[in-house]
Structure 1
């Protein structure tokens, strides 16, 4: 008789733990969606078009980059913009198309201002 009661209590405890786990999973999913919405609203949509001058973010790891060294390289000229966010860049100093082509994501680009310090 005692074993039957212990088995029933164990089943109830397991069911309760399963419900708690499901509630935690749902709460975690809701929190992640809320966090994603918050981060997505901070992203500014940048529009690029052919012929525009842009700067490219240098994402390589530099051990000692220098205190005031800029992380942006360029300027580059946009050769082509694709729908999936890929941008083909031309080096503004090179004259040949094949050696100066760079294909990057639009997330690593910034609009170039005409006044640029060196």
Structure 2
């Protein structure tokens, strides 16, 4: 049995597998990049001004990824830093409206 033809075929197989792996890596990276762009477009940008009242969603998750905002508690006066995605605007003079359901009669 000759070793050179077998070795050459083995090298070609290894190169082919390496090329397939590289293509899969490139496809995964492009998919991840496109998914991140889509996700980032859907995130609503929140803009807060100094002195504005906000509601804080109190979760145990302590990640500061999007926008770090410093807030002050009205009750205790303590200042602390939170993730901007955890804040919602607070509307003091918000008037609640009653929603009624109407049944439409078929004509």
The bucket for the TM-score relative to the shorter chain is: 0.7 to 0.9
Aligned to 2:82: 104
Q: Is the counterpart of residue 93 in structure 1 residue 75 in structure 2?
A: yes
Alignment RMSD, CA only?
A: 2.2
Richer in strand (by share): 1
- TM-score, normalised to structure 2, is 0.75
How many residues align structurally?
91
Moved over 4 A (4+): none
SS in structure 2 of the partner of residue 93 of structure 1:
coil
Q: Distance in 2 between matches of 1:36 and 1:88?
A: 27
Gaps of 5+ in 2: 96-107
* TM-score between the two structures when normalised by the length of structure 1: 0.68
Query: In the alignment, what sits opposite 2:51?
Result: 51
Greater alpha carbon shift after TM alignment, 103-112 vs 21-30 = 103-112
> 2:36 & 2:16 partners in 1: Cα distance?
30
Q: Deviations over 1:35-57 (max 9, x none)?
A: 10111111000001100000111
The structure with more radius of gyration: 2
Q: Tell me, which stretches of 5 or more residues in structure 1 are unaligned? A: 62-83
Give the CA deviation at 1:93.
2.4
User: In the aligned structure 1, how far is the partner of 2:80 from the partner of 2:11?
Assistant: 62
